[in-house]
Amino acid sequence: MARLAALLLALLAGAQAEIPGCKIRITSKALELVKQEGLRFLEQELETITIPDLGGREGHFYYNISEVTVTELQLTSSELHFQPEQELVLQTSNSSLGLRFRRQFLYWFIYDGGYINASAQGISIRTALQLSRDATGRIKVANVSCQASVSKLYAAFGGTFRMVYEVLSTFITSGMHFLLNQQICPVIYHAGTVLLNSLLDTVPVRSSVDHLVGIDYSLLKDPVVSTSSMDMDFRGAFYPLAQGNCSLPNQAVEPQLQDEERMVYVAFSEFFFDSALDSYFQAGALQLSLVGDKVPNDLDMLLRASYFGSIVLQTPAVLDSPLKLELRVLAPPHCTIKPSGTTISVTASVSITLVPPNQPEVQLSSMIMDARLSAKMALRGNALRVHLDLRKFRIYSNQSALESLALIPLQAPLKTMLQFGVMPLLNERLRRGVQIPLPEGMDFVREVVTNHVGFLTIGADLHFAKGLREVIEKNRRPANTVDSGVPSAPPPSTAAA
């Protein structure tokens, strides 16, 4: 009975789960590129390690070690891999660290001072980043676990009291060894929970596409991590800015990601594009009005000849009035994705009127237009771009079949006007594209688009257009800003060697 109840609850939860309109898969092939950039960033962070002054007394000898600075860091052997369920693990071994510090020595009234170079050898670091979804739907580094150790530390003492320093070197280096071990993990914890989260803040969640429409890339659940990839489900829904949310129900096929040959895969369902078309329709953007000189001359002459009988019956003031051609989409267009290609179906009304100055418009004709557009998708930089072409077009009258026959001569010129007048305007507006939910500084290269039934996938490789340090410094939070979802300090165990 308990098993049956658990099964019913699981089915109910699955039925209520929101279907993603967009999915992204990061594969293990991307980790080598991410590791190279990440190691450069980690080296820069570890070079900022500050070690407290070390001082003490041994018999009549007083010593003080201060101004410890990192001169160089070499992370030689490293590995970055996924670890189920939600972790990204970085391991380094046999690394080295160059140090320089000031020595001060006092024996009775004899003083000696100077600077010493030291080297930390056999540094091993293992850190795991736990990734999750926060309350706003953004991917975050929720926690950082760290284990670090330094195998040996050598210091080259010299000067007048070299022999004395060599006697004390074991004690001094042991103290610095302990302090260095304690400083590595806090630096890594800060880099993960603060600096990397400032990078993830650049991933768009809810942002405006233009002055009419926005897009919602809220993460629907925690990332799913396997040994070879990390999958993320996004809402992927456009919405009118005036309404603030998408009202179109998602009844499309859920996109599927199965390949792992490229660094990244992005999948979009029909709902992703339908929500965009619906949002622009709700915002009143899917209409076009051409008046006077905006109507092509050849089309203007053809329309006047076609409706000559209606025009000559008008008064002289109306007879030579400018012609107005108005297209208005009647219902939200629909996107259909098949293995053969992607099409968008549009139904619009076409009205032809005369516009006399300071007088009501005089309607000459009204008709229905059905059009089918082919859509080609591409990733450019960090944005999805769409290019439209007119494939099929027909006009007919909703009044009578006889009137539809009379509209046949207008079929070709109206199609030409759409191809050379309207489609370039649409594609110019689409040129900007829509940003994909990846951090700033990452671009797509060498993309390949594959159509399926109800969704399409785009496989691509990644390229860092900007370094991690550049993006993080640009978007770094103020020092007093603390994310409520991330602990402000690492647990004591994570800082232990």
Q: Which residues pair with 152 in a beta bridge?
A: 121
Number of H helices, E strands in the chain: 12, 22
Lookup: tokens for 206: 């809810």
* 58 DSSP β-pair partners: 61
Degrees to nearest 5, angle at CA 327 with 324 and 329:
160
d(CA 231, CA 429): 31
pLDDT recorded at residue 247 = 85
Residue of 269, 212, 240 lying closest to 21 (CA atoms): 269
Identity of the residue numbered 316: P
| Structure confidence at residue 169 (pLDDT) | 61
Q: Classify strands 383-396 and 434-435 as parallel, antiparallel or unpaired.
A: antiparallel
Q: By 3-state DSSP, what share of the chain in percent is helix, strand and coil, each rounded to 5?
A: 30, 40, 30
Positions in the chain whose pLDDT score sits under 50: 1-2, 5-15, 479-484, 491-497
pLDDT at res. 1 = 45
Helices (H), 241-295: 270-282
**pLDDT (tens digit, 9 = 90+) per residue, 264-293?**
999 999 999 999 999 999 999 888 888 877
- Determine the Cα–Cα distance for residues 390 and 424; give it in Å rounded to an integer: 11
Within 13 Å and on the Cβ side, how many CA atoms surround 233? 11
Q: Can you tell me which residue has the tokens 């009647």?
A: 330
Do 177 and 51 contact (CB within 8 A), yes or no?
no
Q: Which of 375, 421, 406, 412 is nearest to 394 (CA)?
A: 412
* Tokens encoding 497: 């060697």
Give pLDDT, residue 130. Answer: 92
Nearest-angstrom CA–CA distance, 473 and 367: 58
Contact, 272 vs 22, CB < 8 A? yes
Distance of CA 393 to the CA centre of its chain: 37
Q: Which residue's entry shows tokens 């390229």?
A: 463
Q: Please name which of 249, 290, 181 lies closest in space to residue 21, comparing C-alpha atoms.
A: 249
Domains with residue ranges and CATH for the chain: 22-201+488-495 (3.15.10.10), 244-258+268-459 (3.15.20.10)
> What are the pLDDT digits (tens) for 97-132?
888 878 777 767 777 777 778 888 888 888 999 999
Are 438 and 382 contacting, i.e. CB atoms less than 8 angstroms apart? yes
| DSSP β-bridge partners for residue 388 | 375
- Angle value at C-alpha 459, between 456 and 460, nearest 5 degrees: 145
Two tokens, residue 381:
């930089």
Instruction: Kindly compute the dihedral angle of the four CA atoms of residues 410, 411, 413, 414, in this order, to the nearest 10 degrees.
Output: 100
DSSP letters along 174-195, please? Answer: HHHHHHHHHHHHHHHHHIIIII
